[in-house]
């Protein structure tokens, strides 16, 4: 069978040093795992080799899987699959800001059936002085974005996203609106509290979208993104990510 693979660039938004460019990947159709309780397992990193960049994740240009890069370019990403007590997870360790992008288009996701984004992260080291509300110090130990449809800034289309962060400085519950209102930031926790421990989070992203953008989200988001960085403060960030899921309501 002819291998069907096509990437369509949907949009480009300059996030300073952390550009967002989304990909549409026809190869990814129906590759999500639906569990018996209706939950959708997006990623648990168990299928990858230790020490690699996970091959289902795209670079920030949405053109290639970073896992196919040569070793020198792979090292720029600072992300790798690690293992502990029989569990694999994704670790970021470094300063440079390059996100990883997990496309959701064509994966038959219906947010109205599974509106709750669930994930775990373990903060090992925060970039001291990082502040999502300051463009010159915009670093976070960990963040996960859900990128939705395209909003507009004048004549340019830009992605609308909700970004959940672990902030170095901002208080838990802080909400910010960036990029002409197209990116909403929700601070899930702050500082060194809970450092070194896995922490689980659940957010109803349909309700968050309605509350933050004032209208209804599309049924299928474009992508989930992960970004840790310390490039503005020059401070190292270390964080682990695991078990990214979409759950039915009442979870």
Q: Is 74 in the site for Ca ion (CB under 5 A)?
A: no
Q: Is 48 in the site for Ca ion (CB under 5 A)?
A: no
Question: How many residues bind to Ca ion according to rule CB under 5 A?
Answer: 6
Contact window for Ca ion (CB under 5 A) among 39-47, 59-67, 91-99, 201-209: 39-47
Is 160 within 8 Å of 148 (Cβ atoms)? yes
CB within 8 Å of 23: residues ≥ 6 apart: 7, 8, 9, 10, 58, 62, 63, 101, 103, 223
Long-range contacts, 179-184 (Cβ 8 Å, 24+): 179/13, 179/15, 179/153, 180/151, 180/153, 181/151, 182/13, 182/151, 182/153, 182/158, 183/145, 184/208, 184/212, 184/213
Least distance (Å) between residue 212 CB and Ca ion: 29
The three-point CA angle 124-223-175 to 5° equals 60
Q: Is 45 in the site for Ca ion (CB under 5 A)?
A: yes
Residues within window 80-99 making contact with Ca ion, judged by CB under 5 A: 87-89
Binding to Ca ion by CB under 5 A, coded x per residue (else -) over 158-187, reads: ------------------------------
By beta-carbon proximity to Ca ion, the closer residue of 44 and 174 is 44
Contact window for Ca ion (CB under 5 A) among 16-24, 37-45, 100-108, 220-228: 37-45
Q: What is the DSSP letter of 64?
A: S
**Position of minimal CB gap to Ca ion:** 44
Residues at the interface with Ca ion (CB under 5 A): 44-45, 87-89, 242
């Amino acid at each position: 069978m002819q291998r069907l693979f096509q990437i369509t660039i949907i949009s480009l938004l300059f996030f300073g040093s952390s550009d967002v460019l989304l990909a549409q990947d026809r190869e990814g159709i129906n590759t999500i795992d639906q569990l018996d309780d209706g939950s959708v397992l997006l990623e648990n990193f168990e299928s990858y080799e230790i020490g690699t960049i996970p091959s289902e994740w795209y670079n920030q240009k949405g053109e290639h899987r970073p896992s196919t890069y040569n070793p020198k370019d792979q090292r720029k990403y600072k992300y790798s699959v690690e293992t502990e007590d029989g569990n694999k997870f994704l670790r970021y360790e470094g300063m440079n800001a390059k996100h990883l992008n997990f496309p959701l288009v064509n994966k038959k996701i219906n947010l109205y059936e599974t509106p709750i984004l669930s994930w775990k992260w373990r903060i090992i080291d925060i970039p001291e002085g990082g502040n999502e509300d300051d463009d010159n110090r915009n670093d976070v130990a960990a963040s996960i974005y859900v990128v939705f449809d395209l909003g507009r800034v004048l004549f340019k289309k830009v992605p609308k996203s909700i970004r959940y962060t672990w902030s170095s400085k901002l208080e838990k519950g802080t909400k910010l609106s960036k990029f002409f209102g197209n990116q909403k930031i929700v601070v899930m926790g702050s500082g060194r509290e809970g450092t070194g421990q896995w922490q689980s989070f659940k957010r109803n992203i349909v309700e968050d979208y309605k509350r933050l953008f004032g209208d209804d989200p599309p049924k299928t988001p474009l992508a989930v993104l992960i970004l840790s960085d310390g490039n503005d403060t020059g401070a190292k960030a270390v964080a682990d990510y695991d078990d990214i899921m979409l759950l039915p309501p009442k979870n």
